[in-house]
């Protein structure tokens, strides 16, 4: 045997030994949990993990970033607070364990710190056994979000979804399905039976042919109707079919979570002191008083989505808008009973609006567009010219309220009486006394 053959055999021997050592001391991978790695704050996500044994009991939780699989396995890990930092959204029993995997649906709470890493933790054990067979973690980074965009649409809102087509000559087909619907179910047609109703659950907004397919993409616009359940996840399903006789097709899905409807209310900024009050000049000594003014502040605010996380910014029209009307009705002995408006100022974010055309009127209608859409509240300051000796009943009401995705205010859409779109209050009359004179 020559030297070259001996060297070759030695190399082959050591490669074999090295391979056996790598197999012997190989470190198992813990990264078996699958799911979204950068979930949006307040979003609902589903994570899954292969089980050692489907008869075991699975356990899921959200942990701080420093948590290791060993910490979870030996019971020393402390999860984040359930119900405060995150919520578990229940899955049907058939979806909790399926295909040899355990599934976990979680909603990240508004209190969770955004741009922060956390660990999705999984462990399982034999029923009745306190010893955990395995524990695994998946690092996720929670990203900031605001409610109302395409992935977290509000009830009654209108949204457009699109996808890059395989061929613009093929036939696109869209639909809305229950959560858990898969692309395979859409492809084989089994999803059709559980598809949501396009007449009651949602409405398709007609697009022109040029809008339906443009730039190689297919577009679909829908409105989420009254029958849609808020805080529920659904699947936007897309199917594309070839134009040939074979009618081959491909499907794609996208999960969304519908949020409660848009709600804007108006309130007195200081309801305790301004609900029923005397004018600003009360408790002062005046003689032959001819005019008196009173200043009242009102707050118009987005109640839903709540802040935090707040309403969308940088999406849709990136604004929300409303009309308002101020009315004064006097009750007193004078012929001219109704007080008038001296001035109106509205502040929204860094913007200030004045309504000079309201000066001298007892009834004034106005409107306001708030930009960006994330701004809330809007602060109104109104100065009233009183009528001495006349009590004033004042009404401030808002209407024609729409959000960034054309969603109407829920109080208007559902005709909710006393829903918060009107506030009334009373300014008591100032005595109209004359000049004090000495008789003797």
Helix runs in 304-419, H state only:
410-413
Q: Enumerate the β-bridge partners of residue 224.
A: 202
Tokens representing 185?
């179910």
Rounded Cα distance, 387 and 293, in Å: 9
| The pLDDT value given to residue 4 | 47
Domains of the chain: 44-142 (no CATH), 158-258 (no CATH), 263-428 (2.60.40)
Tokens representing 20?
């056996």
**What DSSP character marks residue 429?**
P
Q: Within 13 Å of residue 43, how many CA atoms lie on the same side as its CB?
A: 26
| The pLDDT value given to residue 19 | 42
Residue 86 belongs to what H/E stretch?
strand 86-88
**What DSSP character marks residue 193?**
G
Q: Which residue has the tokens 């900031």?
A: 144
Helix runs in 126-228, H state only:
183-188, 209-212
Q: Which residue has the tokens 């949006």?
A: 40
**Is the distance from CB of 348 to CB of 149 less than 8 angstroms?**
no
Tokens representing 398?
């808002």
**Is the distance from CB of 157 to CB of 148 less than 8 angstroms?**
yes
Ranges of the chain with pLDDT below 70: 1-31, 110-111, 113-115, 128-133, 144, 282-290, 334-335, 432-436, 440
**294 φ, ψ (degrees, to nearest 5):** -135, 135
Strand pairing category for 378-385 and 340-348: antiparallel
In this structure, the chain runs to a length of 440
Strand pairing category for 171-178 and 202-204: unpaired
For residue 379, what are the contacts with CB-CB under 8 A and spacing of at least 6?
269, 297, 298, 299, 346, 347, 348
Report pTM: 0.72
| The pLDDT value given to residue 255 | 84
| The pLDDT value given to residue 22 | 36
Rounded Cα distance, 144 and 153, in Å: 16
Q: Which residue has the tokens 């200081």?
A: 270
Rounded Cα distance, 432 and 240, in Å: 78
**Is the distance from CB of 225 to CB of 202 less than 8 angstroms?**
yes
Calculate the alpha carbon distances from 146 to 88, 108, 233, 261, 315 in Å.
Answer: 20, 13, 17, 14, 10
**Is the distance from CB of 276 to CB of 312 less than 8 angstroms?**
no
Helix runs in 104-208, H state only:
183-188
| The pLDDT value given to residue 21 | 39
**190 φ, ψ (degrees, to nearest 5):** -70, -20
């Amino acid at each position: 045997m020559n030297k070259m053959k001996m060297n070759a055999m030695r190399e082959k021997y050591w490669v074999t030994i090295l391979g056996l050592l790598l197999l012997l001391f190989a470190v198992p991978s813990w990264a078996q949990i699958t799911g979204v790695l950068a979930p949006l704050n307040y979003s609902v996500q589903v994570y899954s993990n292969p089980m050692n044994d489907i008869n075991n009991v699975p356990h899921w939780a959200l942990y701080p970033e420093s948590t290791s699989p060993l910490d979870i396995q030996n019971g020393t890990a402390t999860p984040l607070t359930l119900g405060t930092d995150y919520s578990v959204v229940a899955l049907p029993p058939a979806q909790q364990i399926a295909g040899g995997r355990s599934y976990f649906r979680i909603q990240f709470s508004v209190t969770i710190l955004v741009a922060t890493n956390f660990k999705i933790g999984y462990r399982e054990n034999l029923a009745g056994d306190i010893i955990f067979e395995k524990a695994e973690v998946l690092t996720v980074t929670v990203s900031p979000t605001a409610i109302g965009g395409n992935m977290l649409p509000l009830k009654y809102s209108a949204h457009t979804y699109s996808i890059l087509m395989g061929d613009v000559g093929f036939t696109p087909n869209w639909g809305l399905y229950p959560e858990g619907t898969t692309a395979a179910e859409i492809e084989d047609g089994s999803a059709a039976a559980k598809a949501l109703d396009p007449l009651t659950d949602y409405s398709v907004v007609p697009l022109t042919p040029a809008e339906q397919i443009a730039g190689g993409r297919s577009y679909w616009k829908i409105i989420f109707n009254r029958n849609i359940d808020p805080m529920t996840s659904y699947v936007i399903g897309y199917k594309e079919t070839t134009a040939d006789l074979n009618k081959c097709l491909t499907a794609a899905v996208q999960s969304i979570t519908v949020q409660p409807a848009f709600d804007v209310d108006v309130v007195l900024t200081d309801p305790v002191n301004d609900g029923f009050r005397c004018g600003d000049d009360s408790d002062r000594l005046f003689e032959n008083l001819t005019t008196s003014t009173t200043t009242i502040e009102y707050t118009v605010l987005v109640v839903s989505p709540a802040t935090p996380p707040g309403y969308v910014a940088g999406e849709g029209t990136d604004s929300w808008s409303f009309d308002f009307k101020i009315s004064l009705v006097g009750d007193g002995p004078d012929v001219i009973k109704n007080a008038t408006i001296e001035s109106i100022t509205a502040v929204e974010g860094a913007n200030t609006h004045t309504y000079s055309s309201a000066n001298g009127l007892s009834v004034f209608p106005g409107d306001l567009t708030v930009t960006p859409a994330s701004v809330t509240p809007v602060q109104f300051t109104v100065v009233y010219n009183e009528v001495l000796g006349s009590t004033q009943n004042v009404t401030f009401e808002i209407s024609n309220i729409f959000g960034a995705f054309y969603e109407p205010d829920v109080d208007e859409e559902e005709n909710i009486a006393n829903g918060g779109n009107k506030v009334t209050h009373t300014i008591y009359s100032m005595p109209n006394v004359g000049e004090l004179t000495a008789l003797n």
